[in-house]
Amino acid sequence: MNQGRMIRILLQTTIPAVDDGWSIRRYSILRDYLASLENARGEPLFAVTARDREPDARGHDPLLCGLADSAFDEIWLFAADNGSGLSGEECAGITAFRQRGGGILATRDHQDAGSSICSLGGVGAAHYFHTRNQDPDASRHCVDDTETGTISWPNYHSGRNGDYQRIIPVEPVHDLLRRPDSPAELIEFFPAHPHEGGVGAPEGETGARIIAMGKSRMTNRSFNLIVAFEEGEGLEGNRLGRALADSSFHHFADYNWDTNSGCPSFVSEPMGDGMKRNPRALADIQAYVRNAAMWLAGEGSR
Give exposure, 212-228, as e/b (b: 16+ Cβ within 10 Å): bebbbbbeeeebbbbbb
Give exposure, 127-149, as e/b (b: 16+ Cβ within 10 Å): bbbbeebebeeeebeebbbeebe
Measured distance CA(40)–CA(95) in Å, rounded: 33
Got the DSSP string for 74-120?
A: EEEEE--SSS-SS-HHHHHHHHHHHHTT-EEEEE--STTTTGGGGGS
What are the structural domain ranges in the chain? 7-301
What is the pLDDT at residue 154?
98
CA 292 to chain centre: 10
What is the pLDDT at residue 2?
44
Q: Among residues 113, 103, 106, 99, which one has the least CA distance to residue 152?
A: 113
- Asked if the peptide bond before residue 172 counts as cis, ω within 30 degrees of 0, the response is yes
Residues of the chain with pLDDT below 50 are 1-2, 302
- One-letter amino acid at 32 equals D
Instruction: Out of 2.30.29, 3.30.70, 3.30.720, 3.40.50, select the CATH number for domain 7-301.
Output: 3.40.50
Assess contact for 218 and 157: CB atoms under 8 A: yes
Residues 6+ apart with CB under 8 A from 3: none
What is the pLDDT at residue 302?
42
What is the pLDDT at residue 239?
85
Alpha helices by DSSP H, 41-86: 62-65
